[in-house]
Structure 1
Amino acid sequence: MSRSAESRTVVDLADLPFGQGGHLLVQRALAGLAPGGQLAVTGRDPALLVHLSAWCRGRGHQVRPWEGPHSPDGAVVVRGPAGHDRWAGAVRAGGPSPRGIVERPDPGWGLAARGALVEEGAPAVGFDLAERDLVWAEIAPSLYAHAAAAQWDPAAAVPWDAAFELPPDVEAAVVQVMTYLVENEQAALVLPARLLARVHPHFREVVQLLAVQAADEARHLEVFTRRALLRTGRMGTSSAGGRASLATLLAEPDFALASFLLSVLGEGSFLNLLSFLDRHAPDPVTRAVVRLAHQDEARHVAFGVAHLEHQSSVDPGLRGRLRGAVERRHDVLRDTAGLNQDVLDSLVLLAAGGWEPTAIGRGHRAVRDLLAAMDEGRQRRLVRLGFPADEAAELSALHTRNFM
């Protein structure tokens, strides 16, 4: 690159064809010029002027003939306005910086990276969750960072080789509870996996968080299944009522309502259940898997609550829709048996630690306290979402007896 007699920058491509890398030299030289600056381009490629002109048109630059005596083979490029140095008519996806988040991303942005310079003309991609207030929570970026750092390896984090021996009936109780957890975690995996495919990638932290949530549930499925099969090689029972309850979660298409039913009510109640199992685990493997699952589920609940708090602040009608979702689900499940009796009995036995009448009574009271703690937690989260205390109590009482 040199300076001409007329003090304009010159790029001589020599024998390099414009379409075989010459454009990179021109692009580099233009990047150093202010809008309106002139760049003389010379070279011996017969098609230089044709290719140069077409390339400049697409980027908002002008091409003029080289005027004056002893004009070489080439042309003068006048740099276009700022913001048109890549494509004419291009726009920044989400503003001038990668963190710029808009309320409604353009459908034509598709899979473009947020903050990228986006060329117009691509077909729109169908993401129906494409409004900030439908999916966003300010806590999403920090929650994703925490989730990415807190991933654990099932093979290394759980002491699978720990030595322990349980009475057959206690082992059977553990197997039954693990079977129940697997069934519920399968629903908790499918739901965020479905939702993340609908979220516009402009809201990438939400997509990433839902993807990690699905990965969390996949790990939970692995460790709960492995613990169930660890000693007997058999799973427990699955009730029709339990599966009916989970089916209503998968049938909810609305992002906010699905997040509410799964994360705020269901997984929120599961936090209490996992803490209960941690306290009453009869062996180190069971204790490890429920403790690891609890730390993941706490993030899921935190995002669900934060998202719905944000949405309720901008949508006065949201709480009415949330109430309607609880009532509809209750009506659908009114005639089902609810929690698998085998699961309930297993929880009593694990809390009892033995078959003496006083121990069984203690275990029964512990399960009763668990149900009360679940109810109190649901009410507390409902109040955070703006429900009056009496309405929160009423809605919590309508929550499915299957916990999730």
Structure 2
Amino acid sequence: MSSRETYTREPGDLLWEVPAAGAARFSWEYDEGRARLLALYQKGKDKQWDATTRIDWDLEVDPFDPLGTPDEATALYGTPHWDRMSGRERGTLRQHFASWQFSQFLHGEQGAMVCAARITESVPDLDAKFYSATQAMDEARHAEIYGRFLHEKVQLLYPVNDSLQALLGDTLRDARWDMPYLGMQVLIEGLALAAFGMLRDTTTKPLPHQILAYVMQDEARHVAFGRMALRDYYRQLSDAELREREEFVIEGCYLMRDRLRGLEVLENFGIPRAEALELTEQSEFLHLFRKLLFSRIVPCVKDIGLWGPRLQRAYADLGVLDLGAAELDALMAQDEEIAEQLDARRFAAEEAARTAEVAATVAEGAAADGAGEDGTAGEGHGGGGGAAGRG
């Protein structure tokens, strides 16, 4: 079935073309490169995995409650709109919000795949090209996963959000080789990581929990890659060049904040845009969600050397300036650990089930053999007795 038939509204042209800018760079320097990046490249190779086999796609998902997250997370909760809804209408609303969230994840992952390919093409250092090539494979896998989840389990798609599309376009049109890093690895990936983490830790459904935990394990490496490359490069830039990057970050952060509202969902339920804006502004959960979503971006921006007065004022306006003190490495380590623990639990349970199945099969076989031997012995005994009697 074509994706066009699954979209909640007509997406227009299914092919979006962004004019490429900047040079493709080759490096004839084949030395060992930077140890940190090569170690990350090795990790990227070691951690490749197959979404078809690592994820249990046989797990059932209720399309009308795909995530099992609290209704309080919905902007309509507690409003007269919510009170007037029937149980089925609320289920449809849950389906739409889950579809909207995961559709933006899907579109963002395709953007990340394109940006990783652009980094491979344009970055001047071979060690960075090596790693970004592994990232392109990771992002392809993530797009595959989210696309399959939406098509098979949620059965609904939303077009790309205008703010996400605008930031993707700005990132890809810029001719400077570091901008795909900044736009994708720091802003889009950072925001996505925080959103994934919120859902991973609140969903009560095993399939989305698996998906989010495993995707986040990859994304933790991607953000680390962006930090390494940009931190080294930005030390060499002038104050004027750094301010240009900070302006890009400021604009991108406001775009990402506006992307979080889910206005498209509310409009699909007949709520005028102006009222939808007001409802999302009044949502206490959305305010908390919005702040937590910047928990990965702000410390990363500070770490790579972008922390001028204007940027700090923008973060103060967004209410996230204090997040600059967050321990980003600890968050990334936790993302890796959660995925490893999930694997350990799942495979231990599967091994226990296989062991129990083998033991049951052996027991059944032994019981069948015993029954056969008893029957044979009794038959022989009776026949012998009859012969003796006749004799």
Q: Name the TM tier (shorter chain).
A: 0.5 to 0.7
1:197 aligns with 2:117: no
Deviation at 1:246, TM superposition (A): 1.8
2:293 counterpart (360, 374, 384): 374
Q: Give CA-to-partner distance per residue, 1:114-135, whole Å, 9 cap, x none.
A: xxxxxxxxxxxx9536599xxx
Name the counterpart of 2:60.
163
2:102 counterpart (178, 183, 204): 178
Q: Distance in 1 between matches of 2:27 and 2:263?
A: 41
* Structure-2 change in CA distance of 1:204 and 1:250 (3 Å): same
Deviation at 1:303, TM superposition (A): 0.9
Q: Distance in 1 between matches of 2:35 and 2:205?
A: 39
Q: Distance in 2 between matches of 1:204 and 1:160?
A: 37
Higher Cα Rg, which structure: 1
1:272 counterpart (194, 197, 201): 194
Name the counterpart of 1:325.
245
Q: Distance in 2 between matches of 1:265 and 1:209?
A: 19
Amino acid at match of 2:99: V
CA RMSD, aligned part only?
Answer: 3.5
Amino acid at match of 2:51: P
Which one scores higher on RCO, CA 8 angstroms, separation ≥ 6? 2
Name the counterpart of 2:41.
144
Q: Tell me if structure 2 keeps the 8 A contact 1:228–1:234.
A: yes
Deviation at 1:242, TM superposition (A): 3.0
* 1:291-330 equivalences in 2 (<5 Å): 291-313=213-235, 315-317=236-238, 320-328=240-248
Name the counterpart of 2:304.
385
Q: Distance in 2 between matches of 1:127 and 1:168?
A: 47
Name the counterpart of 1:342.
262
Q: Give CA-to-partner distance per residue, 1:198-220, whole Å, 9 cap, x none.
A: 345xx443222111111111011
Amino acid at match of 1:210: S
Number of aligned residue pairs: give it: 253
Q: Which has the higher strand share?
A: 1
Q: Distance in 2 between matches of 1:273 and 1:129?
A: 36
Task: Find the residue that maps to 1:144 and give its secondary structure.
Answer: helix
Amino acid at match of 1:196: T
Q: Tell me if structure 1 keeps the 8 A contact 2:194–2:295.
A: no
Q: Distance in 2 between matches of 1:382 and 1:222?
A: 29
Q: Distance in 1 between matches of 2:167 and 2:156?
A: 24
* Structure-2 change in CA distance of 1:162 and 1:326 (3 Å): same
Amino acid at match of 2:245: A
* Structure-2 change in CA distance of 1:211 and 1:343 (3 Å): farther
Amino acid at match of 1:172: H
Q: Distance in 1 between matches of 2:208 and 2:256?
A: 30
Q: Tell me if structure 1 keeps the 8 A contact 2:112–2:136.
A: yes
* Structure-2 change in CA distance of 1:245 and 1:310 (3 Å): closer
* 1:2-401 equivalences in 2 (<5 Å): 128=25, 130=27, 138-165=35-62, 166=65, 167-199=91-123, 203-313=125-235, 315-317=236-238, 320-328=240-248, 338-339=258-259, 341-342=261-262, 364-388=283-307, 390-394=309-313, 396=315
Q: Which has the higher helix share?
A: 2
Mark the runs of 5 or more structure 2 residues left unpaired by the alignment.
Answer: 1-22, 66-90, 267-278, 319-391
Q: Distance in 2 between matches of 1:193 and 1:252?
A: 15
Mark the runs of 5 or more structure 1 residues left unpaired by the alignment.
Answer: 1-125, 347-359, 400-404
Q: Tell me if structure 1 keeps the 8 A contact 2:123–2:177.
A: no
Q: Tell me if structure 2 keeps the 8 A contact 1:379–1:389.
A: no
Q: Distance in 2 between matches of 1:131 and 1:334?
A: 40
Deviation at 1:245, TM superposition (A): 2.4
Name the counterpart of 1:85.
none
* Structure-2 change in CA distance of 1:385 and 1:392 (3 Å): farther
TM-score using structure 1 length = 0.54
TM-score using structure 2 length = 0.56
Q: Give CA-to-partner distance per residue, 1:162-205, whole Å, 9 cap, x none.
A: 134334432332222111111111111111102212345xx443
Q: Give CA-to-partner distance per residue, 1:86-106, whole Å, 9 cap, x none.
A: xxxxxxxxxxxxxxxxxxxxx
Deviation at 1:240, TM superposition (A): 3.0
Q: Distance in 2 between matches of 1:156 and 1:382?
A: 36
* Structure-2 change in CA distance of 1:338 and 1:395 (3 Å): same
Amino acid at match of 1:382: V
Deviation at 1:296, TM superposition (A): 1.0
Q: Give CA-to-partner distance per residue, 1:45-85, whole Å, 9 cap, x none.
A: xxxxxxxxxxxxxxxxxxxxxxxxxxxxxxxxxxxxxxxxx
Q: Tell me if structure 1 keeps the 8 A contact 2:102–2:150.
A: yes
Task: Find the residue that maps to 2:294 and give its secondary structure.
Answer: helix
* Structure-2 change in CA distance of 1:331 and 1:292 (3 Å): closer
Deviation at 1:261, TM superposition (A): 2.1
* Structure-2 change in CA distance of 1:204 and 1:329 (3 Å): closer
Identical aligned pairs, as a percentage? Answer: 20
